[in-house]
């Protein structure tokens, strides 16, 4: 449940951030969510990664479909990725995901306690 909350919250806040702030605001958002919603580092990374992978991937896919792949083919060739839009969408999603994942990981380390065992 926490995982899903973190994922959705990260995607939502990053989307809003993208409307008003520079693209890298997604790192701040992912970091913030990971601080607020405590999870183990691995899970936090995955939640951040998936949130942005899906957000960027879906937005790009939506824009690409409405554009019938005209621009993605041209940009794909320009960047040496060929004229297939799927590859460019995947690269886009991956870059968003990586930044968000590492930002979330950072947030979770800030939050998570030192690995100590305590007895009561």
Q: Which residues bind another protein (CB under 8 A)?
A: 15, 18-19, 22-24, 27, 31, 41, 56, 59-60, 63-64, 66-68, 70-75, 77-79, 91-92, 95-96, 98-99, 102-103, 105-106, 109-115
Distances (CA, A) of 22 to 16, 46, 59, 79, 82: 11, 23, 16, 22, 28
Q: Transcribe 45-106 into DSSP letters.
A: HHHHHHHHHHHHHHHHHHHHHHTTTHHHHHHHHHTTS-S-HHHHHHHHHHHHHHHHHHHHHH
CB of 7 or CB of 97, closer to another protein:
97
CB of 5 or CB of 112, closer to another protein:
112
User: C-beta of 57: minimal distance to another protein in Å?
Assistant: 8
CB of 9 or CB of 52, closer to another protein:
52
């Amino acid at each position: 449940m926490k995982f899903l909350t973190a994922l959705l919250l990260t995607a939502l806040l990053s989307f809003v951030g993208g409307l008003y702030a520079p693209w890298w605001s997604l790192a701040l958002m992912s970091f913030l969510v990971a601080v607020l919603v405590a999870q183990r580092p691995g899970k936090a990374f995955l939640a951040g990664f998936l949130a942005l992978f899906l957000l960027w991937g879906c937005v790009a896919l939506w824009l690409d479909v409405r554009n019938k792949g005209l621009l993605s083919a041209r940009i794909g060739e320009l960047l040496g990725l060929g004229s297939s839009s799927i590859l460019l969408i995947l690269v886009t999603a991956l870059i968003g995901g990586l930044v968000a994942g590492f930002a979330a990981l950072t947030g979770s380390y800030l939050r998570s306690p030192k690995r100590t065992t305590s007895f009561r």
